[in-house]
Amino acid sequence: MNRNVIIDAPTSTVGTLFTEKPMLSFKYIDLFSGIGGFRVALDSLGGESVGYSEIDKHAVETYKANFNDPDHHELGDVTQIEEIPKSDLMVGGVPCQSWSVAGQMKGFDDPRGRLWFDTIEMVKKSKPRAFMFENVKGLADPRNANELNLIIRSFEEAGYLINYKVLNAFDFGCPQNRSRIFIVGFQNKYKRHFSDFAFPEPQEHTLSLVEYLDGIEKEDVKKKKFSVDELFDGKVPMSRNSFQKHDEVNDFFVLCDTRNGHTTIHSWDIRETSDDQKAICMAIMKNRRKKRYGKYDGNPMSFEDIKELYSRAKIKDIESLVEKKILKFNDEGKIDLVHSKNSAGVDGIYRVYLPNSEIFSTLTATGTKDFVAEVYVHADTVEGYKQKFIDEVLKKGKLRPVTPKEAHKIQGFPSDFVIHEKDKHANKQVGNSVAPPVVKAVAEQIIRTGVFTN
């Protein structure tokens, strides 16, 4: 790489995370190392790398730009390694697309899923006292129970005691909803140490996305409380997650034409539409999933269907909405939403997080349709909050994607980490990477058992 990009992480979290006195010295091997997320954490704890394996040349460029090894201990393709150094600890983020929902959960039917068996072979050859491997939480999905059990059984047959848990990076100081399964193993002869091991508990912290964003001033936002009736018409949706409070408006907005909610923005909210046109769109949105219109989760409807739902509907309004790219006709002449999938977003945007949000969405190697607002939104009513967002953020274009520099901060990399000079590689690399603060928390628990000192 010809130029270095240095990221400046908030001193309250990431900036001080990897500057503590090392706990002790131990040797480790890093499989599927990527840009070195595991290494960032392990070196801070006194670890010494004796080898790493990575086949993506651009990731290797970033790795070498950050870690000053004389020979870099480069092991190459994990499927081709014949000799591997001895180590106290083996770690790795086994390629995970095979087990992710986005990757259609093909598991061992995907060659990438079979890399688990190469990983197990590396453990057999190096015989580390302990290991730690990370994967997407989809591996822990009940649909993959047989595969996970096979992986665990294979490690047990190799002479290891196994524990695993799904951990979220948010709980360890990263402003990101990133859940991953961590599989930890100890050699059978370290049974006492294994019995002393426990996964780390979530850490207490207060996060604000603005601390990780450049060019946006921090502002003290006092959130108004609302009743369940005001927010949800009396019934809290099952879809709300642990990051969404039942008495506050969300600190992010979703651009989606197939669902409704107090921070859901539809294309007909943004574009110039009449009251009748808005009513037509709402009628379609609320009824297109009903079985009377088809067998799918969302079904095209005839004009007669729409007229039955909204008697004031006129064909000229339908045609106008088609011109505005809100509705479309299918090959059978039926009418549907242009943005007909939940995650399709509107005009390439799905979620927009406000600067005061505690969290950002999961960073992925393929990128995201999620943006950040460059201004804050204040209002005394739910409807006012939504309209202010439309007027002050969407219509004025006060939103943008996170930069690669910011993404590395959000992932938990330290302030002096060098990122790739090309954005497309930097974004892919951080999306593929493990979150160093989570690795550090798990590794500390392994070290505390004394497995590396006896």
Write down the number of H helices and E strands in the chain: 15, 15
At residue 102 the predicted structure's pLDDT band, cuts being 50, 70 and 90, is: very low
At residue 216 the predicted structure's pLDDT band, cuts being 50, 70 and 90, is: very high
At residue 108, does pLDDT exceed 70?
no
Give the range with max mean pLDDT: 220-229, 358-367, 400-409. 400-409
Query: How are beta strands 252-255 and 179-187 bridged, if at all?
Result: unpaired
Query: How are beta strands 351-353 and 252-255 bridged, if at all?
Result: antiparallel
210 CB-side CA count, 13 A:
16
Mean of pLDDT values over 171-193: 96
72 CB-side CA count, 13 A:
16
The least confident of 71-75, 222-226, 232-236, 328-332 is: 232-236
The more confident residue out of 8 and 228 is 228
pLDDT for res 229: 60
Question: Residue type at 279?
Answer: A
Mean of pLDDT values over 86-97: 88
At residue 112 the predicted structure's pLDDT band, cuts being 50, 70 and 90, is: low
Among candidate residues 96, 174, 256, 281, the one labeled active-site is: 96
The more confident residue out of 166 and 99 is 166
pLDDT for res 111: 53
- Under CATH, to which class is 5-203+406-448 assigned? alpha beta
The more confident residue out of 260 and 134 is 134
- Give the tens place of pLDDT for each residue, 430-441: 999 999 999 999
At residue 82 the predicted structure's pLDDT band, cuts being 50, 70 and 90, is: confident
pLDDT for res 95: 84
Query: How are beta strands 130-136 and 47-52 bridged, if at all?
Result: unpaired
CA 351 to chain CA centroid, nearest Å:
13
> How many Å apart are CA 212 and CA 372, to the nearest integer?
11
Let me know if 96 is a catalytic residue: yes
pLDDT for res 261: 84
> How many Å apart are CA 336 and CA 329, to the nearest integer?
6
At residue 288, does pLDDT exceed 70?
yes
The least confident of 67-81, 292-306, 408-422 is: 67-81
Would you kindly state where each structural domain of the chain is located, as residue ranges?
Answer: 5-203+406-448, 215-266+346-402, 275-336
């599989």: which residue's tokens?
183
End-to-end CA distance of the chain: 42
pLDDT for res 448: 96
At residue 9, does pLDDT exceed 50?
no
pLDDT for res 69: 75
At residue 103, does pLDDT exceed 50?
no
Phi and psi (nearest 5°) for 335?
-110, 135
- Give the tens place of pLDDT for each residue, 249-259: 788 999 999 99
pLDDT for res 68: 78
Q: Which residues, at least 6 apart from 414, have a Cβ–Cβ distance to it below 8 Å? A: 9, 14, 15, 17, 18, 40, 436
pTM of the model: 0.86
* DSSP secondary structure of 177-231: --EEEEEEEEEGGGHHHHHH--PPPPPP----GGGGSSS------PPPP--HHHH
The more confident residue out of 97 and 361 is 361
Beta bridge partners of 337: 327
- Indicate the average pLDDT of the chain: 87
